[in-house]
Every structure is written in C-alpha cells, then in structure tokens.
Amino acid sequence: MGPMDRRTFIRSAGAAFVAALLPRAAEAIDQTDVVFGTAYMTGDGAFGAALLDDKGRTLTRIRLPARGHEVVFSTADRAVVFARRPGTFAMAFSTIGKDEPLVFSSPADRHFYGHGAFSPDGKLLYATENDFEQARGAIGIYDATDRFRRIGEYSSYGTGPHDIHVSGDTLAVANGGLETHPDFGRTKLNVAAMQPSLAFVDRHDGSLIARHFLASDLSKVSIRHMVGDKSGRLFIAGQHEGNPARIVPLLARWHPDTGLSPLPVADNAIARMKGYIGSIAINGDQLAVTSPKSGVMLRFDPGDPSRVEITEQPKICGLAAMGPDFAATSMVGTMQLADGETRKTELLWDNHLSGV
C-alpha cells in the first residue's frame, strides 16, 4: 500500500471504527484485570484491530484498510496499531472510545515495520521504519500530544529494524538485517550479506550507545522480536534465513554485563519452530515463544533452558503474559486463556498480542 492520507483512509475504512466500539466497553475495561490488543483478519479478507478482555471477549473492534501488526499501549486508554510491513499507516485510538481514531502515516519515502513503542511518559511514539531507497533502518519519532505529528527520526544503526523497546533513556532495536524494497514485494534482497544486530540508541539524541552482533555462523538469524524482564535482561527471538534443513539457535539473551549470547535451548525443541519464531513473551521466570509456521509453543525457564514444555496449536502466534501463565492467540481464531479455557471467534488473530 502506498502512502495514505487521512481522507483516503476514512474512505476505505468506512465510518465503522467508532460504531464498532461495543456497548459498555469502557465498563468492561474497568472490570477486566488485563486488556489485550491485537490485529485481526476476518474470513472474508477484511482487516482490523481489537481489544480483548481477560475472558477473550472482544471489547472493541476497529477496521483497518490493510493488515495490521502490533498494537502498542501508551496509557490505559490509548493505543496505536501499526500497519504490517510494508504498510505506511498507523492508527491511534482511545481504548474507551473517548474520541475518534486518528490515522497517521510514515513519510512518502519510508514505510513502517509494524512495531513501535511509547516513551515512558507516553508523550512520544517511536516507530521502526524503512528508508527503502537507502536501504537504511530508521526510528521515526511521533508526538503523541500533537496528533502524532512526525517530529524527527534517528538511525536504527542497521538494516530492517523490527521490534523496538524503550527502557528509560534507551531504545533497544532489533535490526533484522534484511533489506526489502516495495518494488519487490516482501523479497529479501541481501540474504547472503545480511548483518542482523541489536542496537541500543540514546532516546534523547539518537546516538549509538552499543551494538551487538551474533557470532558470524549465526549471521542468518534475523533478530526480530524481544522481551525484557525486570532485571534488565532482554530475550531475543529470531527467524532463520539460511537452509531450513539446518537447526540453529533462534533465541538469544542480552544482559548489560554479559552482552549478547545464544540461549542454549535443545535442538529438538528449536527444530519444532521451523526456523521461525513469531512472538515472544515473558512472565516471571517463564519465557514463551511461538511459531505459527509449525503451530508450536515452547515454554521454559531461561535460567534452565534444557527443560522445555512443548504444546501444539495450529497457527499459534500471539503471546502475552496473563496471571501466572500466558494467553495465546492463533491465526485460526482461537484464544487460549491462562486457565486452560479456549475461546474461538470468527476473527483470525494476527501475529502479536499485547497486554496492558
């Protein structure tokens, strides 16, 4: 999809977004322990974003003109959903239906990668973007207090940035290493020479604080998604661009004292992911990762990654902490709740599930 202005968006989305807010959604939000946000598809090919409560019930549905990716929350009553790469729109909406959703776009020579993160005070939104003519990763900065006006950008210090995290004064960016260009669809243009990295960028001046690479024999593991824990560790999940018949570590951990290193999960568990981790989430001492490609979820204590619990569900992907457990959604419309119950809807959930 090319650049899109607000009018075009409203034309394609219809007037459905405000109307889609379900009755008493605001009250339901008050009553639930956790609110989840996720993008979805419908069986007939429409797209949107939804908020779900802790029972997997849909609180709000917002139509999108094309496929969305991650939903990020700033405060309890505001969220942004990004277009999936190489989309160029994002939509900010009130989680309690307070005002009309607001559409904003990446500049004409950038597209979104589908991920973003708010500053701790909620005033700024950082989005991973592709400067596709220069094949350079960028971090777009949007002013959440001024209708998400784009006020600047930083380098991501790598190619193909994907997930981004804010921690205090630092932005952590997963540079997947893959060059793509809208002229060639989703074709990866530089697999032989890819150099994925984990970059730490100063949130105030955009300077590079540190950049970490995996060992050269793992250079085809595209660093895509990450999750942090309370002790300052980051866990990183990758997607393998090399021979699918080769089993390589898809997970890594980063700690300020020890740097970036592969997480030694057993080969037979990693093999189940078919080279592709779609989502990662942490809850206390439990880390969970999913592969929609194989329909498998792995769950383990990263302090003892030799013992892995493996569960299956077709096209499972979205993951978020819930109570002492995890909630997981799938691209066939199921939502597995922490208490073991499953809810099936007519909506097909997209890659990510975010909780607030």
Which of 247, 262, 302, 343 contacts another protein by CB under 8 A? Answer: 247
CA nearest neighbour of 125 among 178, 70, 177: 70
To 10 degrees, the CA torsion angle through 63, 66, 71, 77?
Answer: -30
184 binds another protein (CB under 8 A): yes
196 binds another protein (CB under 8 A): no
Contact region with another protein (CB under 8 A), list: 2-10, 196-204, 207-215, 338-346? 338-346
Least spacing, CB of residue 104 vs another protein, in Å:
21
Burial code (b: 16+ CB inside 10 Å, e: under 16) for 288-323 equals bbbbbbbbbbbbbebeebeebeeeebebbbbbbbbe
Residues 6+ apart with CB under 8 A from 352: 38, 39, 69, 70, 71, 279, 317, 318, 319
Which of 14, 193, 207, 307 contacts another protein by CB under 8 A? Answer: 193
Q: Counting every residue, how long is the chain?
A: 356
Give, rounded to a whole angstrom, the gap between the first and last alpha carbons of the chain.
30
Site map for another protein, 81-110, x if CB under 8 A?
---xx-------------------------
* Sign of the CA dihedral running 125, 48, 129, 174: positive
To 10 degrees, the CA torsion angle through 252, 256, 259, 262?
Answer: -20
Site map for another protein, 6-35, x if CB under 8 A?
------------------------------
Residue 90 vs 124, nearer CB to another protein: 90
Rg (Cα) of the chain, in Å, rounded?
A: 19
78 binds another protein (CB under 8 A): no
Which of 114, 140, 318, 355 contacts another protein by CB under 8 A? Answer: 114
CA 106 from chain centre, in angstroms, equals 17
Which of 22, 26, 102, 271 contacts another protein by CB under 8 A? Answer: 271
> By CB under 8 A, what part of segment 149-168 binds another protein?
162
- CA 99/CA 114 separation, integer angstroms: 23
> By CB under 8 A, what part of segment 302-321 binds another protein?
311-315
Least spacing, CB of residue 186 vs another protein, in Å:
5
69 binds another protein (CB under 8 A): yes
Residue 97 vs 305, nearer CB to another protein: 305
Paired with 320 in beta bridges are 327
Site map for another protein, 215-244, x if CB under 8 A?
-------x-x--------------x-xxxx
Contact region with another protein (CB under 8 A), list: 73-81, 104-112, 179-187, 281-289? 179-187
Task: Provide the total of helices (H) and of strands (E) in the chain, helices listed first.
Answer: 4, 28
- CA 269/CA 257 separation, integer angstroms: 28
Cβ 53 vs Cβ 356: under 8 Å? no
339 binds another protein (CB under 8 A): yes
Residues 6+ apart with CB under 8 A from 74: 80, 118, 122, 125, 144
Least spacing, CB of residue 134 vs another protein, in Å:
10
Judged by the rule CB under 8 A, the positions of this chain that interact with another protein are: 69, 84-85, 114, 135, 162, 178, 181, 183-189, 191-193, 222, 224, 239, 241-247, 267-268, 271, 274, 276, 278, 292-295, 311-315, 325, 336, 339-342, 351
